[in-house]
């Protein structure tokens, strides 16, 4: 059995199932698994100009039929479930050849699917023979150990990075090309399925916290390790091919961690719990003050009991903002704005930070 210190920022060279079995129960916060696809490609694929297209023909992708592939996947997925913390989560990526098998096995093992993300590739390779549609996506299953897990999802951060719109389950990210693609001594791509850094950035940033331990049991060129280090998370990789292990280590050694508010999840910090009455007591808000919507079309007034009046009803800020929006519930802190002598036209919510001493106008 490995000790915890053997697992932090390490690449283990070996077989995924054997090595996973040596990891203690519930030690991992997040797993990203990019297993062999069992592509079953035979023959040579030719581009339209007659040159050979190098797809996935590697020995590590070969199995003697579905029974062997399913047994292999059952075993590593079972071990992943054991080593994952109660509230951790796992991402498994695959293509049409294997993703349905993986999803079936995962559901049978009790995993709870949160999303199936479509990784849409604007620069996917064509279907050279013109016999099918161009295959331009892969699927990621994002799952917890069970339905009740309190997993990490950095919702506000992802919304912020998506132009302040709720992020969706189709991700447009180009396949890994150019300088990002790791080359062997012959100058050719070292690995046939190196994943783009942007994909791992999104996976790791959305579902982990700084300092978390991220496991990748099929490490390849170490994309998971490189991005974990960049985002101030720890990594553990398992990979059985020595040349990939060496390339991954070299790659990770060259990564400089980023330290900013996005990576440190500053947007996820819960607002201070300060009720309206406290704001009135402190003088930050006065009875009779006007509260507006952000376009200054609606104007309500603050009442003595910490509610608001629209001239007809006296309601809480939540109920009144819901009334204006024709909804049953709404968050009044995000709805109302005030004209403040010192800070100008600001969200009502800001007053709670000012009350706590944590808001500056700079
Ligand atoms: C699809 S690739 C992963 C690529 C990786 N995500 C990247 O960005 O470079 C799968 C990797 O799993 C490795 N592999 C296959 N079977 C394995 C096993 N039983 N144990 C450990 N590694 C294995 C292969 O050598 C290959 O590098």
In 195-347, where does DSSP find H-type helix?
197-207, 223-230, 242-253, 276-282, 317-325, 332-335
**CA–CA dist 96, 101 (Å, integer):** 9
Q: Which of 72, 203, 219 to mutate to test the pocket of ligand 1 (most atoms within 8 A of CB)?
A: 219
Q: Which residues of the chain have pLDDT under 50?
A: 360-362
What is the enclosing helix (H) or strand (E) of 23?
none
Which residues are CB-contacts of 185 (< 8 A; sequence separation ≥ 6)? none
Residue 361 is predicted with a pLDDT of 46
Residue 360 is predicted with a pLDDT of 47
Strand segments (E) across 17-166: 28-33, 84-94, 112-120, 137-144
How many other β-carbons are positioned within 10 Å of the β-carbon of residue 9?
14
* Protein residues with CB under 6 Å of any ligand 1 atom: 15-16, 34, 36, 60, 191, 193-195, 218, 220-221, 223, 238-241, 244
Residue 353 is predicted with a pLDDT of 87
pLDDT tens digits, residue range 162-182?
998 999 999 999 999 999 999
Record the tokens describing residue 117, joined without a space: 């993300």
Q: What is the pTM of this model?
A: 0.81
Determine the atom of ligand 1 nearest the C-alpha atom of 220: 27
Residue 216 is predicted with a pLDDT of 98
Q: DSSP assignment of 81-121, as one string? A: HHHEEEEEEEEEEE-TTTHHHHHHHHHHTT-EEEEEEEEE-
Q: How far is the CA of 254 from the centre of ligand 1 (A)?
A: 21
Determine the atom of ligand 1 nearest the C-alpha atom of 244: 27
Residue 136 is predicted with a pLDDT of 95
pLDDT tens digits, residue range 45-65?
656 666 665 666 778 888 889
pLDDT tens digits, residue range 310-327?
999 999 999 999 999 999
């Amino acid at each position: 059995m490995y000790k915890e210190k053997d697992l932090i920022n390490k690449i283990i060279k070996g077989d995924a199932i054997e090595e996973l079995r040596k990891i203690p129960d519930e030690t991992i916060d997040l797993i990203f698994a990019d297993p062999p696809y069992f592509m079953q490609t035979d023959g040579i694929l030719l581009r339209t100009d007659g040159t050979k297209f190098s797809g996935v023909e590697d020995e590590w992708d070969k199995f003697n039929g579905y029974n062997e592939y399913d047994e292999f996947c059952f075993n590593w997925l079972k071990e992943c479930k054991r080593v994952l913390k109660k509230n951790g989560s796992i991402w498994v990526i695959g293509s049409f050849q294997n993703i349905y098998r993986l999803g079936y096995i995962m559901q049978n093992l009790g995993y709870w699917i949160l999303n199936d993300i479509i990784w849409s590739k604007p620069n996917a390779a064509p279907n050279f023979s013109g016999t099918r549609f161009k295959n331009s996506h892969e699927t990621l299953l994002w799952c917890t150990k069970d339905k009740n897990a309190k997993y990490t999802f950095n919702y506000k951060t992802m919304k912020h990075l998506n132009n302040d719109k709720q992020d969706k389950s189709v991700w447009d990210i180009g396949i890994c090309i150019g300088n990002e693609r790791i080359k062997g001594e012959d100058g050719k791509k070292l690995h046939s399925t190196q994943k783009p850094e942007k994909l791992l950035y999104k996976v790791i940033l959305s579902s982990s916290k700084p300092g978390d331990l991220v496991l990748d049991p099929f490490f390849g060129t170490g994309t998971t390790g490189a991005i974990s280090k960049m985002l101030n998370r720890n990594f553990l990789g398992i990979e059985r091919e020595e040349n990939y292990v060496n390339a991954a280590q070299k790659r990770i050694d060259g990564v400089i961690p980023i330290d900013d508010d996005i990576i440190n999840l500053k947007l996820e910090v819960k607002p201070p719990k300060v009720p309206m009455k406290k704001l009135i007591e402190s003088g930050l808000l006065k009875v009779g003050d006007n509260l507006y919507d952000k376009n200054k079309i609606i104007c309500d007034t603050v009442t003595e009991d910490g509610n608001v009046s629209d001239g007809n009803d006296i309601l809480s800020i939540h109920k009144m903002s819901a009334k204006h929006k024709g909804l049953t519930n709404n968050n009044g802190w995000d709805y109302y704005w005030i004209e403040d002598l010192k800070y100008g036209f600001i969200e009502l919510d800001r007053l709670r930070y000012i009350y706590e001493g944590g808001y500056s106008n700079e």
